[in-house]
Structure formats: structure tokens, C-alpha cells
């Protein structure tokens, strides 16, 4: 579709702009600064602050540029005495009740209201009346609130509603007494903190960092989130070796997530400087003895000797190498290289919840990026729960529907929260996602698949019709519920669903920040899964080298498996269920202490950058692996440089060919790995295998009837969030504390339990 171009004159200069463009966006894009408070790109218009005033020829009064769509021949003035006078007048009103307490405000130094006022200088304040006063308070363990600083721009209420679908925060009261608040005075929401991020003033504040540092004291480093697979870009604010806070504020970072972060990305970082970090290498000299601190030289020598001896005695394949999908590509690549080139074992694996190998082996179209999702016209979501497990994807889906008019089809056994935005919810029996994939690939199986899934086959027809009527891109997403054959069939679905008026793009929903990287680095190519390795521990597998930890789901029912090994070495941040039986534990550096890359669920390869020096004696995972290799007589040639590791990845991993750190330096233009796109192939064997597995499904499973509570996955305590006290409050049901004037964190009993009593403000 060709875009019509029109001509607009701004401050005497003629520009060609696309028809339909918004005047405020055009002026800013062309380099003319327009102040604004309530306008926020990609949110519904508010048009209340009247700061974005411009003069448009032939219009009688000054106009708000956020509400004006450019027309051909429009002549605009953005700066004049008349405009500045009007804007100064508006600011005077905005400050009428403002306490002007910048020196004690956490937002001071990065406040949009402060900046604008300082830019002009000499702002008059003619009001002499007593200002409104409201006490400072907490709205939740994460969100603090100083109501009198509010300018009622309602960015917060709109992001809560449009991005999060939660509507947890609203304006209450009337006229000059209007304040932003919550229902019942306590935020029972996903605690994303996006309302804090977009607030242009110091009204909503990060309660976990309150009064701890001034923004100008923090060194800002742009990096990638270490939690889920969405790969949000963020700015790590550090002072004197301590990671103080994380923001996505676009003055610092401008990534695929804009200013969005979820509760984990924004508030889940205190594990980095936590006192329980493993400080030195540790060696257990006697089985069931204690781990004793050692030097790096001792520990590396010990590990090398033990691995070498076991490989010699029991064969190379008796040594297994396992990498966590939380590690960087550089770390995972080094592990794979260590397994293949040094130990010579075929037994290597990623400790992930599921493998995406069948999907990538059959990939028929590029991965949908987050922008594609936001602008898709139809989204088909099979399984998964992005609003809890990949919150940025959840936000993009919600906005595609609410702001972009997309149709959302959800196939799930649970009525997940996103269902509220769906055009069609196909409520299947648990574990029957494969049946729907079979029907999508082969319409003749509709009634059979419907019977297994516990739905009416007309529901499959309705979904097909919605897909067929798509006027734009269709994005197909799936969670970890699909079997290998269903993944393969779905990966080829662009051929089956092609011709719907746009592209058919695919978007997997893996769980971890570098699940895709773990696949790309080859950690999922081995013959055994992480679970199978645990089952073989003490039999065919005699030694393991684990970077990171196994997941609880791997160890469930196999709690003692690691104890059967002759030798276990683990590199980790904290002691865990995996280190429990380790003979050697090596202190690994966290994402904030290292350079590297993660690959997100769009296939975007994004930089991880060092914000603080390694804590205690920690080392980057790939450095540890390279040191072990050197002790065993092989120099990996990485020369202590993560970029050298990445150069080797570029040379050896086809999907990363042509990528270099300098190419990845701009987070606003992320670079997608070039995963091989396969030709249309005969997937009859996979369809037959899928049919057989669907045939074997029982028809007795009960569908879940209740929509899960917000946070039921997000607030779950994991190895990292365990070190963040606020997450324990959230996991305990986010009880309203006795008073909202004091941080809820200080209102717990001495034994660390949350108080039961719930009292008013
Ligand atoms: S923290 Fe997130 S969900 Fe809660 S009120 Fe703020 S924007 Fe809404
Ligand atoms: S709390 Fe902040 S974002 Fe919300 S209306 Fe007030 S100033 Fe705007
Ligand atoms: S959505 Fe995922 S990547 Fe983004 S901040 Fe949350 S956990 Fe991190
Ligand atoms: S930015 Fe246009 S009215 Fe607020």
C-alpha cells in the first residue's frame, strides 16, 4: 500500500510528511521541540495539559498539536512570544498546588516538570493561596506516592489500562482536589511500575529505591533484562559498585520495549549485590563434608584433574555439560566448545523447560518482532500465558487489540487474563493444544480434534474465518505445551495459512532470557535432555559440569540424582539445589557484571553490558570455562574479551554470520539473528505422528474455569527473586500493611513473617 505524501510548513521550512501524521510527532521528528505532559505516543489521547500549543495559519486560536492531524499545505509556527506566554501560563497553573520540593524529590534531576521550568527560567508564581497538602504514602511494596506533585496528565492511568489491562490506578476527587489513587488505597496489581516510569513528575516513585541516591550520582549502563525471553532494554543505574535501580526511561535507553518493564525487570535486581552471593571458589574435599573456600587456581586445577580422570576412566561421554538458558551466548557457546572440542563428549544440554529445536528445524517464516505483534491484525495464541511469563509480549498483544483493532484468538485450557481482550477464546481440555494444531494443519481432522479438545468443531471454523479475514499480518504464538511434532507442524503453518492478506509470522514463547540463544549455540542439539542426564547420573553419566542450575521441574522426583555422580562442578551466583551435591562451586558473575549478548524471543541479539565490577571474586561464566580449558591444555584464544568470543560465534553459527558487537551497539535498532527459513516440506510424517499422539489423548481432562490471579507466575519466588524482600511480600498475597505511611517492608514481624493484621491508612 503506497503512503500518500503531503506538504507542511513548520517555522518557515517546507517538509513532506505522510498523510495522517500527528502534528506533534512531525514537529519533533523535524527537530522542533514541543513541550508536552499528557501526550504519550501510542497511548490514547488525553489532551488536557495544553502545553503543546502551536499557531496554525488560518486557525483563530492557538492549537494543541497533539490533537491535530497534518493536512496538505498546513503552515505551522511552534515558537513565538505568544506561544511561550500561553505555555508559561499553563505551567503556572500546573504548579499552583505543587510543593516545589525538588531538593528532596527522588525525581529531581530527571523530572520533566522541573526541566521545563528550568529551561524557561524566571517562571512567575502569582498564587498566594494555601496549597493542597496530602501525606506521602505507599501504594504497594513497589510504588510510593507523593500526591501533591501530580499534574494530572493521566499517563499513569492510561499505561495501567492500555499496556497492562489492569486499570488499578485512577484519578479520584474533583477539581483542584483531584488526586491519583487506587481503589481501597492499596495496589492489588502486577506491580510493573510502568506508572512510575511514565510519570513526568515525582508523584509516583520507585518505593524500593526511595531516598537512596540522586539520579546524577548513578552511572547509567544500557543492558538487557536477565529474566524472561522478551529481552527488554533497560538502564542499570549504579553507584560505587552497587546496582541501585533499573529503569527504561527513554532519556537513557530506547529499546524495543520503550519505557515498559515488568515487576521482575524493574524491581528484581537486588540479588546482584546480595550478601548471600558466593564469594570465593569452594571445594568439598569429603562427600557430605562442608564446602571450603579455595583460591581460583586451586579450584580450577581440582576441576580439571577430576574431569580428566573421569573421562579417562569412564569414557568421554561419561562427562555431561549443562548450561542454563539464563547465561549469555558467549557463555553457552564456550560450554558447547568445551564439550565438543575439549572433553569430546556428546552429552551437552540446556537446562531449559522445553526445546525449540523442532520449531527452528522447520521454520517457514521470520520470527515476529515486538513491533510486528503490536501492529498485527490477527494474533493466534496457542497455550502459554504471556501476561505472566513474557509480560512485554502480553502488553504488545493487549495494545494490538485495544489501540490497533487486532483480532485475538486464544486457545488455552485456562481462561487466562488476556481472554478479556480476545475476539475468540477456544477453551480446550488441558494438554490438548496439539489437537488444535492438527486441525489447523489438516481441516479434515476437525471433528476428531474437536472431540479430543472438548470443543465444538464450529469453534475451529470460526477461528479459521477470523484468520482468513485478516487484513494485515497474522502472528502465530505458542507456549511450551506443544509437543515436538506439533512445534514442527506449526513452524510450517505459514504455508497452510498463507494468502490471508499479509504476512504470517511466528513467535515462540520460551521462558528464559536466553532460551533462543541456548538453542542457537547448539546446546539443544545433544542426544539427551537435562532430565535424561539426571536420570543417567551415576550410571552412564559419572561427572557433570553445570553452569547455572537445574530448574525445579528437572529435579522434581530426582532430588538426590546429583548425589549419584562421582563429580559435580557448578558455577553459580548463589548456593542452590544444584550446588547441594557439588564437589566444587565456582562464583559466577551476574548479568550486571559482564559483557555479552542475549537473544530474545524475536531472535534479536542484544547486548549485555557491564555496569559494575564483578562482586567479590566472581568471574564471567565464559571466562571460567576458558580457564578450565587452559588448565586442560587448550587455549580458546578469547584473550579475556567477550567480543572475541562473539567473533568466533559469528564465524561458526550461521544464524549469527555478519554480526559484530559494533553492529549491536544501538538498542533502538535491534538486529535479528538470521535463522534459516525452510522451504515448504512434506510434513506428512509429523502430521501422522501428531494424529497418533492426539488419538492417544483421553477425553476426561477438566477445563480450568477460573481466571488465575494476577502475579500467580510473576510473583513466584525463584533463585533470584528469593533475594528481593518485596517479592516475598507479593508472593505472600501482597497484604495491605498496618499503615501506608511506612514502607510495608518494615512492617513484618521479627521472624520475617508478614503481619496478618490489616488496618486502614
Ligand atoms: S504498577 Fe503497573 S499495574 Fe500497578 S498501577 Fe502501576 S501501571 Fe498499573
Ligand atoms: S501521577 Fe504522574 S503520571 Fe499520573 S497523572 Fe499525576 S503526574 Fe501524571
Ligand atoms: S518483560 Fe521480560 S524482559 Fe521485560 S522486564 Fe519483564 S522479565 Fe524483563
Ligand atoms: S500534550 Fe497536548 S494537550 Fe497535553
Give tens-digit pLDDT for 332-375: 999 999 999 999 999 999 999 999 999 999 999 999 999 999 99
Instruction: Give, for ligand 3, the residue of 264, 513, 715 to mutate: max count of ligand atoms closer than 8 Å to Cβ.
Output: 264
Tell me the pLDDT of the chain averaged across its residues.
95
Cell numbers placing 469: 479475514
Predicted confidence (pLDDT) at residue 582 exceeds the cutoff of 70: yes
H or E element that contains 35: none
For residues 276 and 262, what is the distance between their CA atoms, to the nearest angstrom?
Answer: 25
| Region 100-118 average pLDDT | 94
Instruction: Give, for ligand 2, the residue of 105, 170, 199 to mutate: max count of ligand atoms closer than 8 Å to Cβ.
Output: 199
CA of 157 to the centre of ligand 2 (A): 8
Closest CA to 30 of 47, 44, 46, 16: 16
Nearest residue (by CA) to ligand 3, atom 5, is 265
Asked if residue 168 has its Cβ within 6 Å of ligand 1, the reply is: yes
Asked if residue 370 has its Cβ within 6 Å of ligand 3, the reply is: no
Asked if residue 483 has its Cβ within 6 Å of ligand 4, the reply is: no
| pTM, to two decimals | 0.96
Asked if residue 39 has its Cβ within 6 Å of ligand 4, the reply is: yes
For residues 149 and 339, what is the distance between their CA atoms, to the nearest angstrom?
Answer: 58
pLDDT of residue 486: 97
Over pLDDT 90: what percentage of the chain?
Answer: 88
Instruction: Give, for ligand 1, the residue of 187, 387, 399 to mutate: max count of ligand atoms closer than 8 Å to Cβ.
Output: 187
pLDDT of residue 748: 65
Predicted confidence (pLDDT) at residue 125 exceeds the cutoff of 90: no
pLDDT of residue 499: 62
| Region 687-691 average pLDDT | 94
Closest CA to 460 of 493, 491, 426, 503: 426
| Region 285-311 average pLDDT | 97
The three-point CA angle 389-39-47 to 5° equals 125
pLDDT of residue 758: 43
Nearest residue (by CA) to ligand 2, atom 3, is 199
| Region 418-445 average pLDDT | 96
Over pLDDT 70: what percentage of the chain?
Answer: 97
Nearest residue (by CA) to ligand 2, atom 7, is 150
For residues 85 and 408, what is the distance between their CA atoms, to the nearest angstrom?
Answer: 47
Closest CA to 604 of 273, 303, 367: 367
Nearest residue (by CA) to ligand 3, atom 2, is 228
CA of 47 to the centre of ligand 4 (A): 4
* Ligand index nearest the alpha carbon of residue 86: 4
Closest CA to 311 of 347, 349, 350, 287: 347
Q: Please, what sign has the CA dihedral across residues 409, 415, 421, 423?
A: positive
| Region 446-458 average pLDDT | 96
| Region 176-193 average pLDDT | 92
H or E element that contains 552: helix 552-555
- Let me know: does 239 contact 218? Beta carbons within 8 Å: yes
Asked if residue 154 has its Cβ within 6 Å of ligand 2, the reply is: yes
Phi (first) and psi of residue 579, to 5 degrees: -80, -10
**What is the secondary structure of 381-421 as a DSSP string?**
EES--HHHHSHHHHHHHHHHHHTT--EEEEEESS--GGGGG
CA of 310 to the centre of ligand 1 (A): 53
Asked if residue 98 has its Cβ within 6 Å of ligand 2, the reply is: no
- Give the total residue count for the chain: 761
pLDDT of residue 71: 96
Instruction: Give, for ligand 2, the residue of 39, 105, 173, 204 to mutate: max count of ligand atoms closer than 8 Å to Cβ.
Output: 204
CA of 155 to the centre of ligand 3 (A): 21
- Let me know: does 276 contact 574? Beta carbons within 8 Å: yes
For residues 152 and 130, what is the distance between their CA atoms, to the nearest angstrom?
Answer: 19
What is the atom index within ligand 3 of the atom nearest the CA of 266?
5
Asked if residue 150 has its Cβ within 6 Å of ligand 2, the reply is: yes
CA-CA-CA-CA torsion for 25, 27, 28, 31, nearest 10 degrees? 150
* Ligand index nearest the alpha carbon of residue 39: 4
What is the atom index within ligand 3 of the atom nearest the CA of 225?
8
Predicted confidence (pLDDT) at residue 601 exceeds the cutoff of 50: yes
In order of 153, 243, 248, 575, 610, the CA distances from 720 in angstroms are 35, 14, 20, 11, 18
For residues 414 and 91, what is the distance between their CA atoms, to the nearest angstrom?
Answer: 49
Asked if residue 258 has its Cβ within 6 Å of ligand 3, the reply is: no
The three-point CA angle 88-94-97 to 5° equals 130
pLDDT of residue 500: 61
Q: Collapsing DSSP states into helix, strand and coil, what is residue 687?
A: helix
Per-residue pLDDT of 464-486, as tens digits, reads: 999 999 989 999 999 999 999 99
Asked if residue 598 has its Cβ within 6 Å of ligand 4, the reply is: no
Cell numbers placing 429: 481440555
Asked if residue 262 has its Cβ within 6 Å of ligand 3, the reply is: yes
pLDDT of residue 268: 98
- Let me know: does 435 contact 449? Beta carbons within 8 Å: yes
**What is the secondary structure of 155-175 as a DSSP string?**
HHHHIIIIITS---EEEES-G
What is the atom index within ligand 3 of the atom nearest the CA of 265?
5
CA of 544 to the centre of ligand 3 (A): 31
Per-residue pLDDT of 145-162, as tens digits, reads: 999 999 999 999 999 999
Per-residue pLDDT of 696-734, as tens digits, reads: 999 988 999 999 999 999 999 999 999 999 999 999 999
Predicted confidence (pLDDT) at residue 576 exceeds the cutoff of 70: yes
Predicted confidence (pLDDT) at residue 742 exceeds the cutoff of 80: yes
Predicted confidence (pLDDT) at residue 184 exceeds the cutoff of 90: no
**Pick from 417-426, 437-446, 710-719, 746-755: least confident:** 746-755
Asked if residue 52 has its Cβ within 6 Å of ligand 4, the reply is: yes
Predicted confidence (pLDDT) at residue 72 exceeds the cutoff of 50: yes
Q: Give the pLDDT band (50/70/90) at residue 126.
A: confident
Nearest residue (by CA) to ligand 2, atom 8, is 153
- Let me know: does 611 contact 221? Beta carbons within 8 Å: yes
In order of 79, 358, 413, 516, 691, the CA distances from 483 in angstroms are 61, 9, 16, 17, 12
Per-residue pLDDT of 584-596, as tens digits, reads: 999 999 999 999 9
Asked if residue 561 has its Cβ within 6 Å of ligand 2, the reply is: no
Instruction: Give, for ligand 3, the residue of 163, 190, 385, 392 to mutate: max count of ligand atoms closer than 8 Å to Cβ.
Output: 392
pLDDT of residue 753: 58
Asked if residue 723 has its Cβ within 6 Å of ligand 2, the reply is: no
pLDDT of residue 581: 97
pLDDT of residue 754: 55
CA of 291 to the centre of ligand 3 (A): 34
Q: Please, what sign has the CA dihedral across residues 629, 631, 635, 640?
A: positive
Q: What is the 3-state secondary structure (H, E, C) of 134-156?
A: CCCEECCCCEEECHHHCCCCCHH
Per-residue pLDDT of 372-411, as tens digits, reads: 999 999 999 999 999 999 999 999 999 999 999 999 999 9
pLDDT of residue 751: 58
| Residue carrying C-alpha cell 558466593 | 278
Per-residue pLDDT of 492-506, as tens digits, reads: 999 888 766 689 999
For residues 330 and 749, what is the distance between their CA atoms, to the nearest angstrom?
Answer: 44
pLDDT of residue 759: 42
For residues 119 and 433, what is the distance between their CA atoms, to the nearest angstrom?
Answer: 57
Cell numbers placing 710: 494476577
pLDDT of residue 696: 94
Q: Give the pLDDT band (50/70/90) at residue 760.
A: very low
Pairing status of strand 179-182 against strand 169-172:
antiparallel
The residue with greater pLDDT, 757 or 448, is: 448
| Region 83-96 average pLDDT | 92
**What is the secondary structure of 84-121 as a DSSP string?**
HHHHHHHHHHHTTT----GGG-TTTTS-HHHHHHHHH-
Cell numbers placing 242: 552497587
Asked if residue 384 has its Cβ within 6 Å of ligand 3, the reply is: no
Q: Give the pLDDT band (50/70/90) at residue 743.
A: confident
CA of 195 to the centre of ligand 1 (A): 6
Predicted confidence (pLDDT) at residue 755 exceeds the cutoff of 90: no
| Residue carrying C-alpha cell 531472535 | 603
Predicted confidence (pLDDT) at residue 750 exceeds the cutoff of 60: no
Predicted confidence (pLDDT) at residue 757 exceeds the cutoff of 50: no
Amino acid at each position: 500500500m503506497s503512503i500518500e505524501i503531503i506538504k507542511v510548513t513548520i517555522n518557515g521550512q517546507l517538509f513532506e510528511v505522510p498523510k495522517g501524521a500527528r502534528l506533534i510527532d512531525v514537529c519533533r521528528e523535524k527537530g522542533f521541540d514541543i513541550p508536552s505532559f499528557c501526550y504519550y505516543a501510542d497511548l490514547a489521547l488525553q489532551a488536557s495539559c495544553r502545553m503543546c500549543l502551536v499557531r496554525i495559519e488560518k486557525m483563530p486560536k492557538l492549537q494543541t498539536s497533539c490533537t491535530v492531524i497534518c493536512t496538505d499545505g498546513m503552515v505551522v509556527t511552534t515558537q513565538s512570544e505568544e506561544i511561550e506566554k500561553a505555555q508559561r501560563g499553563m505551567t503556572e497553573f500546573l504548579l499552583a498546588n505543587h510543593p516545589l520540593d525538588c531538593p528532596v524529590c527522588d525525581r529531581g534531576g530527571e523530572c520533566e516538570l522541573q526541566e521545563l521550568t528550568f529551561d524557561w527560567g524566571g517562571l512567575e508564581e502569582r498564587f498566594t493561596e494555601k496549597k493542597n497538602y496530602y501525606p506521602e504514602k505507599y501504594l504497594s511494596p513497589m510504588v510510593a506516592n507523593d500526591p501533591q506533585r501530580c499534574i494530572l496528565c493521566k499517563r499513569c492511568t492510561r499505561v495501567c489500562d492500555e499496556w497492562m489491562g489492569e486499570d488499578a490506578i485512577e484519578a479520584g476527587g474533583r477539581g483542584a482536589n483531584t488526586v491519583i489513587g487506587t481503589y481501597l488505597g492499596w495496589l492489588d496489581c502486577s506491580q510493573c511500575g510502568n506508572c512510575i516510569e511514565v510519570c513526568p513528575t515525582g508523584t509516583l516513585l520507585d518505593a524500593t529505591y526511595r531516598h537512596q541516591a540522586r539520579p546524577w550520582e548513578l552511572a547509567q549502563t544500557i543492558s538487557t533484562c536477565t529474566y524472561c525471553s522478551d529481552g527488554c532494554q533497560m538502564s542499570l543505574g549504579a553507584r560505587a559498585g552497587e546496582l541501585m535501580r533499573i529503569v527504561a526511561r527513554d532519556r537513557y535507553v530506547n529499546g524495543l520495549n520503550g519505557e515498559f518493564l515488568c515487576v521482575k525487570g524493574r524491581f528484581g535486581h537486588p540479588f546482584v549485590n546480595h550478601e548471600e552471593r558466593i564469594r570465593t571458589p569452594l571445594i568439598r574435599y569429603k562427600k557430605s563434608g562442608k564446602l571450603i573456600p579455595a583460591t581460583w587456581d586451586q579450584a580450577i586445577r581440582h576441576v580439571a584433574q577430576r574431569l580428566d580422570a573421569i573421562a579417562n576412566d569412564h569414557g568421554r561421554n561419561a562427562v555431561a555439560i549443562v548450561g542454563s538458558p539464563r547465561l549469555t551466548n558467549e557463555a553457552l557457546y564456550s560450554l558447547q566448545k568445551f564439550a565438543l572440542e575439549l572433553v569430546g563428549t556428546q552429552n551437552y544440554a540446556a537446562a531449559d523447560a522445553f526445546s525449540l529445536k523442532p520449531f527452528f528445524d522447520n521454520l517457514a517464516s521470520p520470527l515476529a518482532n515486538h513491533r510486528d505483534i503490536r501492529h498485527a491484525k490477527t494474533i493466534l495464541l496457542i497455550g502459554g500465558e504471556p501476561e505472566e511469563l513474557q509480560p512485554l509480549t502480553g502488553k504488545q498483544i493487549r495494545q494490538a487489540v485495544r489501540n490497533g483493532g487486532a483480532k485475538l484468538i486464544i486457545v488455552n485450557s485456562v481462561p487466562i487474563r488476556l481472554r478479556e481482550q480476545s475476539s475468540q477464546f477456544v477453551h480446550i481440555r488441558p494438554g490438548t493444544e496439539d489437537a488444535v494444531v492438527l486441525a489447523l494443519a489438516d481441516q479434515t481432522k476437525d471433528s476428531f480434534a474437536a472431540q479430543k479438545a472438548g470443543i465444538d468443531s464450529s469453534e475451529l471454523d470460526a477461528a479459521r474465518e477470523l484468520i482468513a479475514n485478516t487484513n494485515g499480518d497474522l502472528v502465530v504464538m505458542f507456549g511450551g505445551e506443544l509437543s515436538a511434532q506439533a512445534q514442527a507442524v506449526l513452524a510450517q503453518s505459514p504455508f497452510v495459512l498463507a494468502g490471508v492478506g499479509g504476512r504470517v509470522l511466528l513467535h515462540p514463547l520460551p521462558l528464559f532470557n536466553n532460551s533462543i540463544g541456548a538453542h542457537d549455540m547448539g546446546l539443544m542439539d545433544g542426544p539427551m535432555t537435562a532430565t535424561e542426564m539426571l536420570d543417567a547420573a551415576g550410571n552412564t553419566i559419572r561427572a557433570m559440569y553445570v553452569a547455572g542450575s537445574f530448574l525445579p521441574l528437572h529435579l522434581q522426583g530426582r532430588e538426590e540424582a546429583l548425589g549419584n555422580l562421582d563429580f559435580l562442578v557448578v558455577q553459580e551466583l548463589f548456593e542452590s539445589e544444584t550446588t547441594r551435591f557439588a564437589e566444587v562451586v565456582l562464583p559466577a558473575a551476574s548479568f550486571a557484571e559482564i559483557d555479552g549478548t542475549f537473544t530474545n524471543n524475536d531472535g534479536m541479539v542484544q547486548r549485555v553490558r557491564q555496569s559494575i565490577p564483578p562482586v567479590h571474586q566472581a568471574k564471567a561464566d565464559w571466562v571460567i570455562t576458558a580457564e578450565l580449558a587452559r588448565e586442560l591444555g587448550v587455549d580458546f584464544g578469547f584473550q579475556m574479551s567477550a567480543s572475541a568470543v562473539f567473533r568466533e560465534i559469528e564465524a561458526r553459527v550461521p544464524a549469527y554470520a555478519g554480526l559484530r558487537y559494533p553492529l549491536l551497539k544501538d538498542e533502538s535498532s535491534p538486529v535479528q539473528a538470521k535463522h534459516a527459513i525452510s522451504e515448504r516440506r512434506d510434513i506428512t510424517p509429523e502430521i501422522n505422528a501428531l494424529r497418533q499422539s492426539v488419538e492417544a489423548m483421553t477425553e476426561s481432562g477438566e477445563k480450568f474455569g477460573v481466571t488465575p490471579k494476577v502475579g500467580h507466575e510473576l510473583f513466584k519466588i525463584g533463585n533470584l527473586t528469593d533475594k528481593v524482600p518485596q517479592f516475598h511480600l507479593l508472593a505472600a498475597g501482597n497484604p495491605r500493611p498496618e499503615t501506608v505511611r511506612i514502607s510495608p517492608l518494615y512492617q513484618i514481624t521479627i521472624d520475617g513473617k508478614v503481619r496478618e493484621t490489616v488496618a486502614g491508612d
